Structure 1
Amino acid sequence: MTTTLSATRIGHACQLIEFGDTRVLTDPWFTQQATYYPGEPIAASVETLGRIDAVVISHEHYDHCDLDALVAGGFDLGTPLIGPGTVAGIARAKGFRDVRVVEAWESTTVGELTVTATPGRHGVHEVTFVLQADGRTVFFGGDSLRVPELDRIPERFGQIDLAILPTNGLCVRQMNHEQVVMNAEQAAALTAVLRPVMAVPHHYAFHSGQLGDRMLTAADRDPRHYADEVARLAPSVDVRLVLPGTRVVVP
């Protein structure tokens, strides 16, 4: 019997991915700051998460690595926390006791779960992830740009059941509008290579506040642009636009 695979988008890039009874939290973000607004409801608090078997973090930006919120919410600091070396030092300083460093193409295991870091590129050092357990495979794209190395994922890992990809094409105005996150068209092109059974966009509702949106960042906040591009490039892929708190089950 196929293991149930589901994902619940808590908000932004924070996802609760469940392989049967194995529960993985990605890129935690539960609070907000002056220029970091989720732009949508946060569907859970740290206190209501329940048991988490592993946390995977793509990079150290606050909106993906809100470790202070986990600590303040009484999160179990013995839970394996997996990410690149830039995240590991922060996590250890916050009191996490089982910190696993993985860089591109390196793996670690937690019970039946295998976590493999895959390449990424952003404004700071970032990895993406392939998560596997009980014959099911998920690609988690954090907020990376599209990098050519990601096209190797199907040959390395076989069928992808679920791909979770950023789509807002975030640009930093003060850096001559340098793009630091893949946009809808780039995410759809990667989706066409990965050919997952299901794809879920994320990292699109975030904004920097009224002043910040004018002075700091520019982004596409409409995930329908991604869905339209996937329909053009990979029409067999089931794209789900998921509100925070909605659990989707992958066939």
Structure 2
Amino acid sequence: MTRRRRKTYSGPPSDHFDGQKFFDPDGVSPKSLSDLLRWQFGGRRNRMVWPAWVPSPHADVPPREVDGGKVRLSFVGHASWLIQANGLNILVDPVWSMRVSPVSWAGPKRRNHPGIAFEDLPRIDVVLVSHGHYDHLDLATLSRLAKNFDPRVVTPLGNDLTMREADAAIRAEAFDWHDRVELGAGIAVHLVPTRHWTARSLFDRNQALWASFVLETPAGKIYVVCDSGYGEGRHFRRVGEAHGPLRLAILPIGAYEPRWFMRDQHMNPDDAVKALLDCGAEAALGHHHGTFQLTDEAIDAPAEALVEALDAASIPRERFVAVKPGQVVEI
């Protein structure tokens, strides 16, 4: 029996696509399999064990829609958000599954309920999916959304093939870095470069693209970074220069230990504070922490380290807040 070859993106070479794989001109290649094995089984691993279940004290039942020039952001958990404005309901990297893994019986398991119960979702018009890693591109959730709401799904090049191959009902539309996509109701999204990579297996690294998002909303521009390393900060400065002023930045603060392995793909809180200053956003919300244990730090370490990093940089703590599932922010 032969293994069916998965369809992959095909297109002209560019400054970030060599004809076969995508790359970040300002980034580095992902760690090798031998590095992964060294981290997992090297003998000096300092992995903090998370509690089996840590419920959030918050839960949200969002309104059917939000109008009047206001933007309502509800944190679902990890990197999943519901953003409502001008009657449009947008989900970012939606994950309602219990595990983020190629299989349902193993892999990182959810440690708290989604901040919004799936049954309490309003009509979903648009879904933004940043890249193909399992904690961001959840096919089970996308299929469920397609069945219930039939939303547009906007994603970087190549991830649309993964979605449609799994479920033809997923209305995936693929775009490149720097593309601007009209979402309706006066809202648009820009796909912007981010320092990361992607894969669904050991054999398809960087055969699809990854991106962050800049949303144009009636309350200002919102910079949504679902996953990123910091590097030299070029990506964040360029977004600030090209799209500023930014009203809000949503920045990842978790999944960063050990640094020798994670530095190039995930920011720690110190990096996230630098990213805030680089992009120049008025305020920031910290996410990508506290729901799935992907790395070695303790469950509460990112939120605690964020406060320390803000104090060290003399930035008011209220400018950059680590949120928990079910919390709501309005601008």
Q: Which TM-score band applies after superposition, normalised by the shorter structure? A: 0.7 to 0.9
The answer to whether the 8 Å contact 1:104/1:127 transfers is yes
State yes or no: 1:13 paired with 2:94: no
1:186 corresponds in structure 2 to 271
Asked whether the equivalents of residues 84 and 102 of structure 1 are also in contact (C-alpha less than 8 Å), the reply is yes
2:158 is paired with a residue whose SS is helix
- Shift of residue 46 of structure 1? 3.0
How much does 1:241 deviate?
2.7
Structure 2 equivalent of residue 31 of structure 1: 97
From 36, 39, 42, the equivalent of 2:114 is: 42
1:229 maps to 2:298: no
Aligned partner of 2:24 in structure 1 is: none
Alignment CA distance shift 1:75-1:2 (3 Å): closer
User: For the structure 1 residues 156 and 13, does the alpha-carbon distance in structure 2 shift closer, same or farther, using more than 3 Å as the test?
Assistant: same
CA deviation after TM superposition for structure 1 residue 139, in Å? 0.6
Distance between the aligned counterparts of 1:231 and 1:160, measured in 2? 22
1:161 equivalenced with 2:247 (yes/no)? yes
CA drift of 1:15 comes to 0.5
C-alpha deviation, 1:154, in angstroms: 1.8
The more displaced of 235-244 and 101-110 is 235-244
CA distance in 2, matches of 1:43, 1:156: 33
The answer to whether structure 1 residue 244 and structure 2 residue 307 are counterparts is no
Paired residues, number: 240
Q: Read off the aligned partner of 1:120 and give its amino acid letter.
A: T
Q: Which amino acid aligns with 1:240?
A: V
Whole-angstrom distance in 1 between the partners of 2:310 and 2:245: 18
Distance 2:144 2:172 in 1: 18
- 1:131 corresponds to which of 207, 215, 218: 215
Q: Would you say the 8 A contact 2:142–2:170 is kept in 1?
A: no
1:135 CA drift (Å): 5.1
Percent identical residues? 23
Residue 329 of structure 2 aligns with an amino acid whose one-letter code is V
Rg (Cα) greater in structure: 2
CA-to-aligned-CA distance 1:73-114 (integer Å, 9 cap, x gap): 63323x111111232112222224542212221111111221
1:68 pairs, out of 140, 153, 156, with 140
Report if the CA contact (8 A) 1:192-1:230 is conserved. no
| Cα pair 2:244 2:280 within 8 Å, conserved | no
Contact residue 189 and residue 230 of structure 1 kept, 8 A: no
- The aligned amino acid for 1:21 is G
Deviation string 1:14-45 (CA, Å, 9 cap, x unpaired) is 01112242221000111122222233331223
Q: Is the 8 A contact 2:71 2:218 kept in 1?
A: no
Task: Tell me which residue corresponds to 1:170.
Answer: 256
Partner of 1:105: 178
The answer on whether the counterparts of 2:152 and 2:172 sit within 8 Å (CA) in structure 1 is yes
User: 1:172/1:224 Cα in 2 relative to 1: closer, same or farther (>3 Å)?
Assistant: closer
CA distance in 2, matches of 1:182, 1:203: 10
C-alpha change, 1:96 and 1:172, in structure 2 (3 Å) is: farther
Kept in 2, the 8 Å contact 1:29–1:64? The answer is: yes
Instruction: Pick closer, same or farther for the CA change 1:142–1:246 going to 2, 3 Å.
Output: same
**Residues 220-229 or 24-33, more deviating:** 220-229
More strand by share: 1
Q: Give, in whole Å, the separation in 2 of the partners of 1:98 and 1:234.
A: 45
Counterpart residue type for residue 187 of structure 2: L
Looking at structure 1, the residues matched to 187 and 156 of structure 2 have their Cα atoms a distance apart, in angstroms, of 18
Contact 1:191 1:234 in 2 (8 A): no
The CA distance in 2 between the partners of 1:7 and 1:196, in whole Å, is 16
Letter in 1 for 2:73: A
1:140, distance to aligned residue in structure 2 (A): 0.6
